[in-house]
Amino acid sequence: MKKILLFFVLTVMSFLMLGFNVEAYSKDIMPVRSELNQTRTIGLYQIGEDVQIYKEPNEESQILYRVRWNNNEFFPSEIGAENFFVVFLPNKSLELVAVTDMTEDWIEIVYDETNGKTGWIKMDDPYKFMTWMNFYNTYGKKYGLTLLGGAPNSCKDIKASTEDLARTISTINHPTKIKLNVIRGNWALVSVMDMDKTPKTGYVRWRSDDGVRYFFPAIK
């Protein structure tokens, strides 16, 4: 009886551990809060599954890390997928990192978001880079926007024009859909459907003057 009970306990523990590992490695990654560490970024880059990060844009430079990943694992663990990717949605073929600078052949990325660490990788395809504007125009218009945590309450104000002192014509309360129509500088013309089913159209600040993003494409 004791052997049967021990076998049952070990089986359950193995199952739980397996489930934990799958969850830890395979979960999607999307921004949930406004991040100050990424205000210097100029866009996003579709990263490969095996890249070397250099200290300088030079193959003779010091190699800081070799990053390898697949749908189940990410190395090195001291960085972690959550710190490396801005967006990680394998089912959409989106594995994007933040970019701070680029040359003709090299691209500087944020490889540790929590600590704001950057390094250089060889650019294998220039078409894998998207400016923030291109990213929002592509994915924001397709999926709509979501308001990130930590954004100031003023971001919920829908304005009549692209000015902070413009008349507030409505407020975002409990949105079921925020449709992106067009981006004009740091402002976005949106059409909002709240839970009260009253459509609201006007301008909201999608990012601050120094680059802190308040809204993000609601990719799903």
Q: Please report which helix (H) or strand (E) contains residue 82, including its range.
A: helix 81-84
pLDDT at position 133: 93
With contact defined as beta carbons under 8 Å apart, do 75 and 69 qualify? yes
Compute the half-sphere exposure of residue 190: CA atoms within 13 Å on the CB side of its CA.
Answer: 36
pLDDT at position 1: 52
- Report how far Cα 66 is from the mean position of its chain's Cα atoms: 21
- Same-domain pairing of 78 and 43: yes
CA-CA distance, 59 to 57, in Å (whole number)? Answer: 7
Three-class secondary structure of residue 17 per DSSP: helix
With contact defined as beta carbons under 8 Å apart, do 107 and 99 qualify? yes
Q: Which residues make beta-bridge pairs with 138?
A: none
**Predicted TM-score (pTM) of this structure:** 0.82
- Same-domain pairing of 120 and 176: no
pLDDT at position 26: 58
Per the domain annotation, does 119 fall within a domain?
Answer: yes
Model pLDDT for residues 46-63, shown as the tens digit of each residue: 999 999 999 999 999 999
pLDDT band, very low/low/confident/very high, at 185 (cuts 50, 70, 90): very high
Model pLDDT for residues 76-117, shown as the tens digit of each residue: 999 999 999 999 999 999 999 999 999 999 999 999 998 989
Work out the average pLDDT over 58-69.
96
Indicate whether 148 pLDDT > 60. yes
- Same-domain pairing of 44 and 120: yes
- Same-domain pairing of 101 and 44: yes
Indicate whether 29 pLDDT > 80. yes
Percent of the chain with pLDDT over 70: 86
Number of separate domains in the chain: 2
- Same-domain pairing of 40 and 85: yes
Per the domain annotation, does 163 fall within a domain?
Answer: yes
Answer with the residue of higher pLDDT: 73 or 21.
73
pLDDT at position 130: 96
Indicate whether 2 pLDDT > 50. no
Which pair of tokens denotes residue 138? 């592509």
Which range of residues forms the domain containing residue 149?
133-217
pLDDT at position 17: 39
With contact defined as beta carbons under 8 Å apart, do 95 and 88 qualify? yes
Residue type, 115: N
Per the domain annotation, does 173 fall within a domain?
Answer: yes
Per the domain annotation, does 26 fall within a domain?
Answer: no
For the chain, the average pLDDT equals 87
